[in-house]
Amino acid sequence: MNQQTRPRLASHSLDLPNHCDICNRARSSGNHQACSKRRQARQSAYWESYMANVEAKRATKATRNTAASATGRRA
């Protein structure tokens, strides 16, 4: 019986694709720094809108809490 000398780092395999979504080559081969830059540029609009939504939610929550404290009610 083969005994492990150390515990596994992860209990299950990670859910990461093994091929690059930009160049469609294996991530284990070559440098994907250029692909990473393209991916960041492509996703920047998504993250900007996401963070704008987060800020809008935070602002509405703050406005709601301020209005509730002005009327003496709990939020």
SS3 string, the chain, reads CCCCCCCCCCCCCCCCCCECCCCCCECCCCCCHHHHHHHHHHHHHHHHHHHHHHHHHHHHHHHHHHHHHHHCCCC
The Cα 46–Cα 54 span in angstroms is 12
**11-70: per-residue pLDDT in tens?**
777 677 888 989 999 988 889 899 989 989 989 989 999 999 999 999 988 777 666 665
What predicted TM-score, i.e. pTM, was given to this entire model? Answer: 0.47
